[in-house]
Structure 1
Amino acid sequence: MTTLAAPAPANRTLAAAGAILIYAMMIGFTDNFVQTIARDGGLWQFHATRTAMALALLGLAAAPLRLRLRPRNWRAVAFRSLVHGSGMVVYFGCLAFLPVAVVAAGLFTAPIFVLLISRFAFGMHIGPYRILAVAVGFLGAMLVLGPDSGMAVGPATVLPVVAGVLYALGNIATRQWCAGESAETMLAGFFAALGAYGLLGLAVLALWQPEAPAGAEGFILRGAVWPTPSFLLWTFVQAAGSLVGVGMMVKAYQMAEASRVAVFEYVILPASAFWTWALWGEVLSMRAMAGMVLIFAAGLIIAVRGR
């Protein structure tokens, strides 16, 4: 008797796009206050504190909302959490010695790697429209971010691309291996991985005890310090906002193929720019606005073709 393989879940591309939009607006808002956090605390204490707050919020919401936190496949969730967490640690670590534009541009190579991994590792068909959308979106990201093209290429400038590869691999794992997991399960795993990295970093700095510069410049080298009210407030905002935002991102990757959803993540750039203007009054250049038009066009191509 022949056993038929279970059909792949249908792609709900427009619903995934809506979830990514919520994610982008939440993360775009909270990330505008990372500089405020960096003035008073360190990267590793931030990760550890944010994880404690996020897991506490998840624990409080678990019973009334009937959340399922226990993984069905421990290995798959652990792998995804480790890969995504590692990508974010590399991303934040690069901010200590590279311009933000270069680091962010490296991370936004992720959709290209999603396409490559989906095609060559899983044999998925990638149509010309999705390839075009990724190219258009990536060009838009370059215009918005404006990385310094005169920077010498070396190990330091390659690391943000490594973060992009890890981020892409984690997004593929969400759909391929964790489709049966709840969003809250993967949220808990993601924050647990970052919290573990935070505790490890604090332990290393306690033994190493380097001299950290004052203010935001000492973010990556600063060990455990007594938290200020400002640090606790904005770290809590980060924890709560990340729970909602990353939860929406996880749901998006469960609702459609990673190669479809990845392009929508470019919307985080205009979302961040909107909050920068709304909160601090900074106005975009014409070059940046042109880039955002391309980003919107990339998402529109995927949405229309996805239906």
Structure 2
Amino acid sequence: MDGSVAAPRPILALVIRFFAAGSLATMAMLVKLAGSRGVALPELLFWRQAVTLVVLGSAIALTGRLATLRTERLGAHARRAFLGVTSMAFVYGAVLLLPLAEATVLGFTTPLFAVLIALIWFRERIGIYRWTAVGLGFLGVGIVMLPDLGGGVSVEGLAVGLIAGAFVALISFLIQDLNRSESPWSIVFWFVAFTTPALALFLPFVGAAHDPTTWGIVIAMGLAGAVAQLFLTWSLRFGSAATIIVIDYTSLVWAVFYGEPVFGRLPPATLWLGAPLIIGAGLVVAWREHRLSRRNRAG
């Protein structure tokens, strides 16, 4: 899959992805905090995109990068925007429905879904290593979500979290494809340019007045999302999704760190039993993808 990377620089990709993981974890914490203060999901999605559009548009104008927005692939950008905002809805929904650490762990199923997408979409042969990893990963999901020990995790939250993992995997492939011909500025700009007006249509039905503290949380969430979006896109420009996805596991450290002081909740014992299986499965997938890419390049 490295063939779809625009300019392979694996170490740089890993560093960028590390900062992306921290930004995403911070954004998830702020999403949950804003939701607890009465901000509706469509409103969160709108402000996430609107803030990114303002920040990104200003940066592009001030740095003279308007030429980077030219594209002959508006259709591909539109498809990425539709699937991207759908993915965001499920990711945010999981954060709102589940405790932060559990929602984060479910996000780690993305590499497992990437294997299934490679099988279905690219007709790729999946060997024993990756099938074993998929099985162990979903076993870990089951352990984390054990109803008797998991602290009241809802079935709806579990379903939304798993769907979110599948969508994030799909979006990673789409972004890698766009990175072959588009700049990161262009990919993020067209994403927010397509989705911000569409999400604004929901505001008359869900928009509400908020106190200054809540608005501060919402704006901070949008800024964290803007930074994360750029870092994610840049990381996929320099490294394949299968190999850099391992860094995403550092977001669990952030989720646990935020859990106690912000929400007054420590993860249950089942998370510490199931998370290593999910993370280990993702590492096996990343290792196997790396071996396959090296073999393909040698061939």
Report the TM range for the smaller structure's normalisation: 0.7 to 0.9
Deviation at 1:120, TM superposition (A): 3.3
SS of equivalent to 1:114? helix
1:233-248 to structure 2, matched below 5 A, reads 233-248=216-231
Alignment match, 1:166 = 167
C-alpha displacement at 1:8, in angstroms?
A: 4.9
Written as runs of structure 1 = structure 2, the 5 A alignment for 1:57-96 is 57-67=55-65, 68-93=68-93
- Relative to 1, partners in 2 of residues 1:120 and 1:161: Cα closer, same or farther, differing over 3 Å? same
- 2:18 is aligned with 1:17: no
What SS class does the counterpart of residue 180 from structure 1 fall into? coil
Give the equivalent residue in structure 2 for 1:46: 44
**Residue 26 of structure 1: aligned partner:** 23
Kindly tell me the number of residue pairs found equivalent between the two proteins: 281
Report the TM-score when normalising by structure 2: 0.73
Deviation at 1:64, TM superposition (A): 3.6
Following the alignment from structure 1 to structure 2, what is the Cα–Cα distance between the partners of residues 280 and 155? Answer: 21
Q: Which residue does 2:251 correspond to in 1?
A: 268
Between 1:278-287 and 1:47-56, the stretch displaced more is 278-287
Report deviation, 1:106: 5.4
Distance 2:180 2:49 in 1: 24
Question: Equivalents in 2 of 1:32, 1:248: separation in Å?
Answer: 18
Quote the Cα distance in structure 2 between the aligned partners of 1:21 and 1:295. 19
Q: Residues of 2 paired with 1:147 and 1:41: CA distance?
A: 29
User: TM-score, normalising length from structure 1?
Assistant: 0.72
Give percent identity, aligned residues only.
24
Please state whether the residue corresponding to 2:182 is helix, strand or coil: coil
Q: Secondary structure at the match of 1:87?
A: helix
Give me the whole-angstrom Cα distance separating, in 2, the residues matched to 1:300 and 1:162. Answer: 21
Quote how far apart the aligned CAs of 1:83 are.
0.6
Contact 1:107 1:161 in 2 (8 A): yes
Partner of 1:116: 116
Flag the 1:231–1:31 CA change in 2: closer, same or farther, 3 A: same
The 5 A counterparts of 1:121-200 are 121-124=121-124, 145-146=144-145, 148=147, 158-200=159-201
Deviation at 1:251, TM superposition (A): 2.0
1:47 positional shift: 2.3
> Which structure is higher in helix share?
2
Is the CA contact 1:270–1:292 (under 8 Å) kept in the aligned structure 2?
A: no
Q: Is the Cα contact below 8 Å between 1:263 and 1:299 reproduced in 2?
A: yes
Matches of 2:24 and 2:109, distance apart in 1: 18
Q: Which residue of the partner structure matches residue 294 of structure 2?
A: none
CA contact (8 A) 1:141 1:269 kept: no
Query: Which residue of 230, 236, 247 maps to 1:253?
Result: 236
Residue deviations 1:155-175 (CA, integer Å, cap 9, x gap): 886444333332222111111
Aligned partner of 1:217 in structure 2 is none
Is 2:109–2:137's contact at 8 Å kept on the other side of the alignment?
no
Q: 1:183, CA displacement in angstroms?
A: 1.7
Matches within 5 A, 1:222-237: 223-237=206-220
Query: Deviations 1:179-227 (Å, cap 9, x if unpaired)?
Result: 3222222222333455345323224x2xxxxxxxxxxxxxxxxx22223
Distance, in Å, in 1 between the alignment partners of 2:125 and 2:12 is 21
| Rounded Cα–Cα distance in structure 1 between residues aligned with 2:95 and 2:227 | 24
Q: Is the 8 A contact 1:106 1:160 kept in 2?
A: yes
Where in structure 1 are there 5+ consecutive unaligned residues?
A: 1-6, 206-222
- Shift of the 253–129 alpha-carbon distance from structure 1 to 2, 3 Å rule, reads farther
Q: 1:157 to 1:29 in 2, by over 3 A?
A: closer
Distance 1:297 1:116, change over 3 A: closer
Give the deviation of 1:58 after TM superposition: 0.9
> Which stretch of structure 1 is more off in the superposition, 261-270 or 169-178?
261-270
Shift of 1:46: 2.5
Runs of 5+ unmatched residues, structure 2: 292-299
Letter in 2 for 1:148: P
* Contact 1:141–1:266 (8 Å) recurs in 2: no
